[in-house]
Structure 1
Amino acid sequence: MIKPKGRLIIIGGCVDKGSFTSGPEENTPQNLKFFEKGILKRMITESLNGDHSKIEIITTASSIPKEVGEEYIDAFKQLGITDAQVLDIRTREEANDPANIERLRKADIVMFTGGDQLRLTSIFGGTQFHHLLLERYENEHFVISGTSAGAAASSNNMIYQGSSTEALLKGEVKITGGLGFINNVIIDTHFVRRGRIGRLMYACASNPINLGIGLGEDTGLLIKDGHSMEAIGSGLVILVDGTHMRHTNITDVQMGEPVSIENLAVNVLSFGDKFDLKTKTMNFHDIIKTAEAE
């Protein structure tokens, strides 16, 4: 992919159901708490039109699109946004509908909500909607954001299934193609609370070209130019780098057997820290200088 002109914001989620659910989200009204308001605000400031941005909230991944969409509209209203709408596409036919394509063409920000990332890839992959998303992201000052499933589906490779406790058994973590807004990474969400470090270790061992990105709740990465990453939100971003991995037995063991991995590197980012995907270098946020500047 050429150096994109757009911004990509991926968020670890905050709804206590998250990705990889297969049934209705229980206790939805109680669980829909949008702790990432700081991240939503950053989304707006990164948009070319700021507070006057037109936002399309894509609830395709969710099994409760109406409830989720209304919560996000309310959250954006609290931040002064008056033009946020729900675009709930349920079929590939709808993803090719000229009316939906036109709405995408007029949007400043598109946000994919949580749910099941396979819904996103199976419904959008290869459609006119998907092609226009990629075209606008590459060529315009356009913001694409995703939380939970929406974040997991953002990369070219995507984890769609896998137990946290048994992740380092061969074959437990399932990977497929994502929507491809960013290459050479693989993203996992609700990362700290659900103990998903093993899933990223396995994913990176199976293909070390991919940088593993683990996003905690109310935590995200703002990605510019396709490689410049900045941690935003209140939690942690865990990066797993397999570039210098010396050995793994992943090809030698049988399905279901434990996997050994030697020399994976782990970096931890918090608010304001930056990481360059090209150079694999990290820059710490200077809290003292920031406080003095304020």
Structure 2
Amino acid sequence: MKKSYIISFFFFLFIVGLGACSEKEAVTEPETNQVEGKLFIIGGGSRPPSLINSMIDEAGLREGGYVLLLPMATTLPDRAIESGKKQFSDNGISAVGAINFIQGETPSEAQLDSVRNAKLIYIPGGSQNRFMGVVAGTEIEKAIWESFNNGNMIAGTSAGAAVMSEKMITGTQLLHPDDSGFKVLEQGNTELTNGLGFIKNAIIDQHFVVRSRFNRLLSLTMENPNLKCIGIDESTAIVVSGNKVKVVGLSQVLVFDAQGKTAQLQGTKLGVKDIKLSIYLDGDEFNLN
């Protein structure tokens, strides 16, 4: 796929005809008038109707606005777009568009306005590294942030969940690249890079219980004692509004917190006493502070 494109002709006309003008006014507003949006971070796996409807309701989509899919994390964007549009249309939302930005291509102003004005930006799964390779440091990333700062929702699943935090798990083992899983708790094995940065005081992991990613996140907890490390299981999400977090979905969210304690080292092996573990279920709430 060589060209960026926007799905749905009516959607394109709406943005060009109305969205561009309204956004020019919004960008010139003082920062103090901006209203921070919400995050809806899904741990991957199946997305039951109850989860999608929760996302729709939290975003306020039933009162108007549109969804914009950004499928750059996957090598199969057409399939991700089709699946993403269906999950919304099956639950009563038909105003869904998509842009598959291509790395190195300059986005048009109409495309950027599509991003800025979306009531819900949805990032499907794939590779978080691929997604950030397209958007990091670009006008696309700025437009995503402008949408969030205008009170809209940014949502994602799997790789789309990993990109939400400032420190993003890449999935790469630095010390044991040929191993199939994180088999040890040691310093310097789990690679982190920059994500979108909507969450600055926590690290997000996904598919957490199903794929037994405890070693990976426990290692990061000890290496980053001032950050909460949040593992979100499949078919489950956290809704983040400021520092307030609510759990929705079918499984669990685990939060590890070293509470600022410095790790001990024996060689590369890590150790910390009394790490705090909380396991949250649907409807539970906690703070990121």
The TM-score bracket by the shorter chain reads: 0.7 to 0.9
SS in 2 for 1:59: coil
Q: Is the 8 A contact 2:61 2:93 kept in 1?
A: no
SS in 2 for 1:122: helix
Distance 1:167 1:98 in 2: 48
Q: Is the 8 A contact 2:258 2:272 kept in 1?
A: no
* Pairing 1:238–2:238 present: no
Aligned partner (choices 251, 265, 288) of residue 277 of structure 1: 288
Query: Could you tell me which residue of structure 2 aligns to residue 179 of structure 1?
Result: 196
Distance 1:51 1:74 in 2: 19
Query: Could you tell me which residue of structure 1 aligns to residue 147 of structure 2?
Result: 136
Query: Could you tell me which residue of structure 1 aligns to residue 157 of structure 2?
Result: 147
**Distance verdict in 2 for CA 1:268–1:39, change over 3 Å:** same
Query: Could you tell me which residue of structure 2 aligns to residue 201 of structure 1?
Result: 218
Aligned partner (choices 80, 85, 88) of residue 92 of structure 2: 80
Aligned partner (choices 113, 117, 127) of residue 138 of structure 2: 127
Q: Is the 8 A contact 1:52 1:81 kept in 2?
A: no
Q: Which amino acid aligns with 2:132?
A: T
Q: Is the 8 A contact 1:245 1:263 kept in 2?
A: no
Q: What is the aligned-residue identity percentage?
A: 28
Query: Could you tell me which residue of structure 2 aligns to residue 29 of structure 1?
Result: none
SS in 1 for 2:144: helix
Task: Show CA shifts across 1:40-74 (max 9, x none).
Answer: 21121122442633001111001111112101111
Distance 2:85 2:168 in 1: 28
Aligned partner (choices 1, 6, 13) of residue 44 of structure 2: 13
Query: Could you tell me which residue of structure 2 aligns to residue 61 of structure 1?
Result: 73
Distance 1:4 1:151 in 2: 22
Number of residue-to-residue matches in the alignment: 251
Gaps of at least 5 residues in structure 2 are 1-30, 174-179
Distance 1:183 1:4 in 2: 18
Task: Show CA shifts across 1:187-231 (max 9, x none).
Answer: 110000111011111112111111101010000100012x10000
**Distance verdict in 2 for CA 1:98–1:189, change over 3 Å:** same
Q: Is the 8 A contact 2:62 2:93 kept in 1?
A: no
Query: Could you tell me which residue of structure 2 aligns to residue 223 of structure 1?
Result: 240
Distance 2:201 2:221 in 1: 10
Q: Taking structure 2 as the reference length, what is the TM-score of the superposition?
A: 0.81
**Distance verdict in 2 for CA 1:181–1:40, change over 3 Å:** same
Q: What is the CA distance between 1:118 and its match in structure 2? A: 0.6
SS in 2 for 1:69: helix
* Pairing 1:111–2:126 present: no
Distance 2:165 2:48 in 1: 21
SS in 1 for 2:270: coil
Distance 2:238 2:256 in 1: 15
Q: Taking structure 1 as the reference length, what is the TM-score of the superposition?
A: 0.80
Q: Is the 8 A contact 2:225 2:262 kept in 1?
A: no
Q: Which amino acid aligns with 1:271?
A: D
Distance 2:96 2:198 in 1: 22
Distance 1:49 1:115 in 2: 25
Aligned partner (choices 202, 226, 229) of residue 212 of structure 1: 229
Query: Could you tell me which residue of structure 1 aligns to residue 50 of structure 2?
Result: 38
Distance 2:100 2:43 in 1: 21
Distance 2:184 2:163 in 1: 19
Task: Show CA shifts across 1:165-208 (max 9, x none).
Answer: 32513332111111111111101100001110111111121111
SS in 1 for 2:52: helix
Which deviates more, 196-205 or 127-136? 127-136
Gaps of at least 5 residues in structure 1 are 15-33, 279-294
